[in-house]
Structure 1
Amino acid sequence: MASFGLKVIRGTFGVAEHVAPRLTGRAAFELFCRTPHEKSLSEGERRAIDRAADFMTQARHHRLKTRTGCVMVHEFRPEPGRAAAGTVLVIHGWRSRTEYMRTLIEAYRDAGYKVVSLDLPGHGQSQGRRLTLVSAVDAARVAGEWFGPFAAIVGHSFGGAVAANAVAGSIRNIPRLAAGRLVLIAAPSSLPAIFADFSRMLNVGSRSQAAMADRVERIAGRPFTGDRQLASTPLPTLVIHAPDDREVSAEHARLYTRAGDHVRLYWADGLGHRRILADRGVAERAVGFVAGRLEPSLQ
């Protein structure tokens, strides 16, 4: 059952949609950018973090300064004596953190890659309580200055949107991030998709959602349309998506493939939006694509 506070917010947004949608859109955008407090973690999230405690001790931890604060980057190196095949940047999604990317990180490290995993602003061990697409891309930029160029960038969900914008250089005054390949897992291809679940929860109407997207466009300098960005950035790209994803529709994966022949699609049947991260078959597919051992065909 929704809390009394949530019911009040939903009622307010419902009325304001018809009175002042632009003002409502700005207010909703600010709420959206507010990241969850660590005390709000669910029991399942806490257990996942606890299970990854030993795994996290294997990393070297670097606190890097961005334009809006400091972010934590976790560096996982290959086994001693093994030459690195290159460096892979891993970017998690909204309300996520490096611990949840463990299966992918281990798969790349076992294949001889050095893995740099970024905790986005307001997430994991990074500072702050606010996250925007711009601050996220800026954090990726800083990681690139310290650890790049990257053999590949791997992003899940919102992290995939961050990766696509970073390599396309689509954010005003933030240079393009150098990478050899791109892997997008359950990634949205537009801002409305990012806002969709949040808007449904708070009863934010369509006109207010449009105002939210306009707000981001004014900050970023251009709209986020992933297929167009990849079309202008012919980087070998693997899109991994589950047809049953209820958070980011499979249609977004299909949109990415329209960017050109440099984009390949792999359907991860039955893995939803979050289980996909723990699937070893998905991890093997992602590693194989970056290593050039396989080139999955469009499905």
Structure 2
Amino acid sequence: MASFVFKVIRNAFGIAEHVAPGLCGRAAFELFCRTPNPRSLTAGEQRAVDQAARFMAEARRHCLTTRKGRITVFDFKPQGGTRPLGTILVLHGWRSRTEYMKSVIEGFRDAGYRVVSLDLPGHGQSSGRRLNMALAVDAVRVAGEWFGPFAAVAGHSFGGAVAVNAAVGAVAGIPPLATARLVLISAPSSMPAIFEDFGRFLNLGPRSQLAVAAEVERVTGRRLEDFVGSVQLATVPIPALVIHAPDDREVSADDAKAFARAGDHVRLFWARGLGHRRILFDPEVVSEAVGFVTARPRLARVN
């Protein structure tokens, strides 16, 4: 049944290319922004949330207002009650939430940092059922106003792309986020490439794809082609650590290589054999991230 519905949707978008490409592009963009119901968890997702319950209870919870809704931010003190070395902002990826970033958060807490982690719009305990780069960067803006400046922003997958765009001020009307460093775990570099793949998935034609790009510009105030992380980092030399698995099937290792070519301020660590999600729970990955922020990196450069 699902396969049949998918074929119908693809056929509808293919026909709309010739009849109403503008409407088709707007509909495709809205579909792209639609987030899964955060209350409808798979058995594995529910298990991860349940296992992190005690950990989450250690955080102070804040409900903050953005331009379009409400976000929930979790504030973790350093382990041992010591005076924090600084504050780290942690950002999860698409169809994720703070609970899944537990190992990363614990690593920075153990090193003496205060950690602030937010559930992005449409995820976890934040409101809404939509997420795009403008909504995400605005959420980060609010977190920065309350808890910044940050010693580093650590983001996984889409959260890594958000970290870059927030740090460089990519969304019109939102100033750059104050952060000393970036840690990008399994992060995509090119938003145009993501939308191109999404367009192929939906069977969008060229005029509909242009309409999608117009929606991105309407929402963000920037052209779609401006959202290329490797180019953004090349123009704003914030020290960045890129951590990626060569076997990542969701975000190509080519994205990590592109980031690494942005300049000498970007370093690359290959987390071999860890895929897209297991990478978050690997002790060596956490150690590399913490070591980079505390200026004790042990890094493998791209050849």
Question: Secondary structure of 1:180's partner?
Answer: coil
* TM-fit CA distance, 1:96: 0.6
- 1:241 and 2:244 are equivalent in the alignment: yes
Aligned pairs for 1:44-83 (under 5 A) are 44-83=44-83
Identity %: 66
- 1:261 and 2:264 are equivalent in the alignment: yes
CA distance in 1, matches of 2:185, 2:14: 33
* TM-fit CA distance, 1:199: 4.2
> Would you say how many aligned residue pairs link Structure 1 and Structure 2?
299
Q: Compared with structure 1, are the counterparts of its residues 209 and 247 closer, same or farther at alpha carbon in structure 2 (3 Å cutoff)? A: farther
| 2:169–2:177 contact (8 Å) kept in structure 1 | yes
Question: Secondary structure of 1:135's partner?
Answer: helix
| 2:38–2:122 contact (8 Å) kept in structure 1 | no
CA displacement 1:191-233 (0-9 Å, x = unmatched): 1343366445544456534532332133212220111111111
Tell me the TM-score normalized by structure 2.
Answer: 0.93
Residue in 1 that maps onto 2:111 = 111
CA distance in 1, matches of 2:202, 2:51: 33
Greater shift, 270-279 or 146-155, is seen at: 270-279
Question: Secondary structure of 1:40's partner?
Answer: coil
Greater shift, 202-211 or 95-104, is seen at: 202-211
* TM-fit CA distance, 1:8: 2.0
Residue in 2 that maps onto 1:30 = 30
Structure 1 outlier segments of 4+, above 4 Å: 196-201
Q: Which amino acid in the other structure matches residue 120 of structure 1?
A: L
Unaligned runs of 5+ in 1: none
Aligned pairs for 1:1-299 (under 5 A) are 2-195=2-195, 198-199=198-199, 201-205=201-205, 208-222=208-222, 223-294=226-297, 296-299=299-302
Q: Compared with structure 1, are the counterparts of its residues 23 and 3 closer, same or farther at alpha carbon in structure 2 (3 Å cutoff)? A: same
CA distance in 2, matches of 1:42, 1:129: 18
CA distance in 2, matches of 1:260, 1:288: 20
CA distance in 2, matches of 1:34, 1:74: 24
CA displacement 1:161-200 (0-9 Å, x = unmatched): 1100111011100011000100111111121343366445
| 1:150–1:179 contact (8 Å) kept in structure 2 | yes
CA distance in 1, matches of 2:205, 2:42: 28
| 1:75–1:117 contact (8 Å) kept in structure 2 | yes
Question: Secondary structure of 2:153's partner?
Answer: strand
CA displacement 1:218-265 (0-9 Å, x = unmatched): 321222011111111111100111111111111111111121110001
* TM-fit CA distance, 1:68: 0.6
Q: Which amino acid in the other structure matches residue 175 of structure 1?
A: P
CA displacement 1:61-102 (0-9 Å, x = unmatched): 000111111100001111244121110000011111001101
Greater shift, 201-210 or 118-127, is seen at: 201-210
| 1:182–1:236 contact (8 Å) kept in structure 2 | yes
| 1:197–1:247 contact (8 Å) kept in structure 2 | no
Q: Compared with structure 1, are the counterparts of its residues 296 and 119 closer, same or farther at alpha carbon in structure 2 (3 Å cutoff)? A: same
Question: Secondary structure of 2:263's partner?
Answer: coil
| 1:153–1:181 contact (8 Å) kept in structure 2 | yes
* TM-fit CA distance, 1:297: 4.1
CA distance in 1, matches of 2:252, 2:208: 21
* TM-fit CA distance, 1:144: 0.5
Tell me the TM-score normalized by structure 1.
Answer: 0.94
CA distance in 1, matches of 2:229, 2:53: 35
Q: Which amino acid in the other structure matches residue 183 of structure 2?
A: V
Question: Secondary structure of 1:115's partner?
Answer: strand
| 1:243–1:268 contact (8 Å) kept in structure 2 | yes
CA distance in 1, matches of 2:84, 2:203: 49
| 1:245–1:273 contact (8 Å) kept in structure 2 | yes
